Amino acid sequence: MIRIYKEKDYEAMSRRAANVIAAEIIRKPDCVLGLATGTSPLGLYSELATLNAEGRVDFAGVTTYNLDEYYPIDPANDQSYRYFMNKNLFNNVNVDMDKTHVLFGQAPDWKAECAQYDAEIEALGGIDLQLLGIGVDGHIGFNEPAEVLDPLTHLTDLTEDTIRANSRFFESEADVPRHALTMGIGSILSARRIMLIATGEAKAKAIATVLSGKLTTACPASMLNLHSDVTILCDRAAVSLCDEATIAALS
């Protein structure tokens, strides 16, 4: 079941998303969070750092697993998702670094790395709250539109669209890694709760497809309709292709 809440802008969405995560940590101080990178969560990560500095949320017992990482990439590279997470969240809150997990972009055996990631999450009892962004093409994690989707953590090829979109962070398009390690659709759907954040008109088509309630591998995020507890937080632009009645029914 998907619920959607429309906020007036990015800041309001980020505040609300940070409050959802903070509430989860307060409810369960040793919770396991699934985290995302990208532009969408920057505001919420900075809100969480503020809440942590104010003593309103304590990350000491929290464990985190990130959705994805480029492959191959050195974690010290400033374009790696490990670097992103350290810079934008982990270094700014009192999380125990040993409890933060990002797929290792230099794993010599990617299959073993993926299998171990899934096994570790399972051994911990699963992810309590999974944060997601959404790609313009409806991808979640690096699960891109395709004829078939992978259930578990795996190595994937990035599509030309994603390489182009991500090239804004690299010196040139040629520098963008062509592969990534990512949790699969099944890994994502195994989380107890899922929160997806989306802002801007570019996401409107993907959000409209998700809210149609149908499943299609052409929009991997549509698979969220299989889950019993999904919250979408967005701004007005991201739902500009959805009618008010649909939004009202799901709010």
CA dihedral over 143, 176, 208, 65, signed as positive or negative: positive
**Residue closer to ligand F6R, measured from CB, 62 or 67:** 67
What values do phi and psi take at 2, rounded to 5?
-110, 135
Residue 68 among the catalytic residues: yes
What are the residues facing 5 on neighbouring strands? Answer: 233
Residue 30 neighbours by CB distance under 10 Å: 13
Site string for ligand F6R, 56-85 (x = CB under 6 A): -----------xx-----------------
Residue 151 neighbours by CB distance under 10 Å: 15
CA dihedral over 16, 17, 18, 23, signed as positive or negative: positive
Q: Does 36 bind ligand F6R (CB under 6 A)?
A: yes
Which part of the chain contacts ligand F6R (CB under 6 A), choosing from 35-43, 107-115, 145-153, 206-214? Answer: 35-43
Which residue number places its CB atom closest to ligand F6R?
Answer: 133
User: Which of 34, 38, 184, 220 is in the footprint of ligand F6R by CB under 6 A?
Assistant: 38
Min dist. Cβ of residue 36 to ligand F6R (A): 4
User: Of 68, 69, 113, 235, which one is the catalytic site residue?
Assistant: 68
Paired tokens of 220: 């991997």
Min dist. Cβ of residue 25 to ligand F6R (A): 20
Min dist. Cβ of residue 248 to ligand F6R (A): 26
Min dist. Cβ of residue 133 to ligand F6R (A): 2
Strand order in the sheet with 68-71: 68-71, 179-182, 154-157
Of 64, 134, 158, the C-alpha closest to 102 is 64
Instruction: Enumerate residues 123-152 that contact ligand F6R by CB under 6 A.
Output: 133-135, 139-141
The rounded Cα 137 to chain-centroid distance in angstroms is 15
Residue 101 among the catalytic residues: no
Binding site for ligand F6R (CB under 6 A): 36-40, 67-68, 133-135, 139-141
Q: Active-site positions?
A: 68, 137, 139, 144
